[in-house]
Amino acid sequence: MSIKHLAVSNLLNYHVVMTRPLALITGASSGIGAAYARLLAADSDFVLVARRADRLQDLAEQLRKAGAAVEVLLADLATREGIAKVGDRLGFGDVRVLISSDVDPARIDDLLTLDAEAHVQLVRAALPGMLAADEGTIVTVASLLAFGAGQTGPRPPRRTLCTAAKAATVAFTRTLGHELADTGIRTQVVCPGPVATEFHQGLARTVPGAMTAEDVARAGLAGLRLGETICVPGLEDQSAALDALLGAESAVLSGGRRSDLASRYR
Ligand SMILES: NC(=O)c1ccc[n+]([C@@H]2O[C@H](COP(=O)([O-])OP(=O)(O)OC[C@H]3O[C@@H](n4cnc5c(N)ncnc54)[C@H](OP(=O)(O)O)[C@@H]3O)[C@@H](O)[C@H]2O)c1
């Protein structure tokens, strides 16, 4: 090997050893987003996104003590301006981990903007840099509600739009994962049940058996190591349930793709 090659490879080794991947986390000022940041603190640098500056600065201080470089980016992701601001930051192309842990909109009209569109726009902004590096991790936080459209029974308020938004996030992330299969980019959608956070004024804290935000983030990160593209933190036999889901989807998809009407319509 020539000296030039040796120098370059030493430089690369130095670079690899010294550089921590940059993770951009939305919803980082509390709950699941903050839990991800704390769990990744030993290995990552961060861009932390939310609206509350004081909360983000407190977390940033904790993460810096663990050796991380941290940027705080204030943005309201219920607005197109806020999404564009975060998209601009992602456009620098240096973010290798995107954790899109979206949020509780103040107005019902914002629900689909915030919960479904923000994920799409942020992923779109992050992808060119990840594709250029052929490396990246994209995590969206959805909910078990994504699988709840067929369920009847007592419903909390705003369930219809929540279910639609979360189902959109699951479909988006799953399909994206297939499109990126031959790249170095991994995708995962995390679907927790009730989590004891500040969400909905801490509503889930009153639900017996609510999970902690730390456990949700821990499950998501462990699931990534296991190669899971869907992570349901509380689901014991996940692969059997997801195989059954895929089987049901395939039956509808292949059975319905015909030129003639089903016999009951003739
Ligand atoms: N908690 C549950 O029971 C539960 C269950 C299933 C799924 N989830 C999902 O998990 C995700 C995270 O929820 P969480 O439980 O961690 O809730 P959380 O503790 O209330 O945290 C929400 C985070 O989003 C930020 N946020 C809220 N509105 C925002 C806005 N308009 N623009 C930018 N940031 C905003 C908040 O910070 P600022 O207020 O500082 O902006 C906070 O950092 C949500 O997508 C939720 O649907 C939660």
Cβ 194 under 6 angstroms from ligand 1: yes
Residue 214 in this model has a pLDDT that exceeds 50: yes
Question: Is residue 90 a contact partner of residue 185, using CB atoms and an 8 Å limit?
Answer: no
Q: Whose CA is nearest to atom 7 of ligand 1?
A: 143
Best mutation site among 104, 166, 212 for ligand 1 pocket (most ligand atoms within 8 Å of CB)? 104
* Weakest mean pLDDT among 5-9, 48-52, 106-110, 118-122: 5-9
Residue 3 in this model has a pLDDT that exceeds 70: no
Q: pLDDT value at position 13?
A: 40
Q: What percent of the chain has pLDDT over 70?
A: 88
Listed in sequence order, the residues at least 6 apart from 54 whose beta carbon sits closer than 8 Å to its beta carbon are none
**Res. 117 pLDDT band, cuts 50 70 90:** confident
d(CA 163, CA 142): 10
* Weakest mean pLDDT among 28-32, 42-46, 202-206, 209-213: 202-206
Q: Tell me how far CA of residue 11 lies from CA of 14, 76, 206, 227, 233, in angstroms.
A: 5, 40, 53, 31, 40
Residue 19 neighbours by CB distance under 10 Å: 11
**Res. 16 pLDDT band, cuts 50 70 90:** very low
Q: What is the pLDDT of residues 20-65, one digit of tens each?
A: 999 999 999 999 999 999 999 999 999 999 999 999 999 999 999 9
Best mutation site among 81, 103, 114 for ligand 1 pocket (most ligand atoms within 8 Å of CB)? 103
129 Cα to the center of ligand 1, angstroms: 26
Strand partners, 24: 47, 98
Cβ 45 under 6 angstroms from ligand 1: no
Q: What angle do CA 85, 184, 11 make, to 5 degrees?
A: 85
Is 3.40.50.720 the CATH classification of the domain at 3-237? yes
Question: Is residue 31 a contact partner of residue 107, using CB atoms and an 8 Å limit?
Answer: no
Closest CA to 104 of 40, 161, 46, 39: 161
pTM of the model: 0.91
Return the ligand 1 atom nearest residue 32 CA.
16
Q: pLDDT value at position 171?
A: 97
43 Cα to the center of ligand 1, angstroms: 24
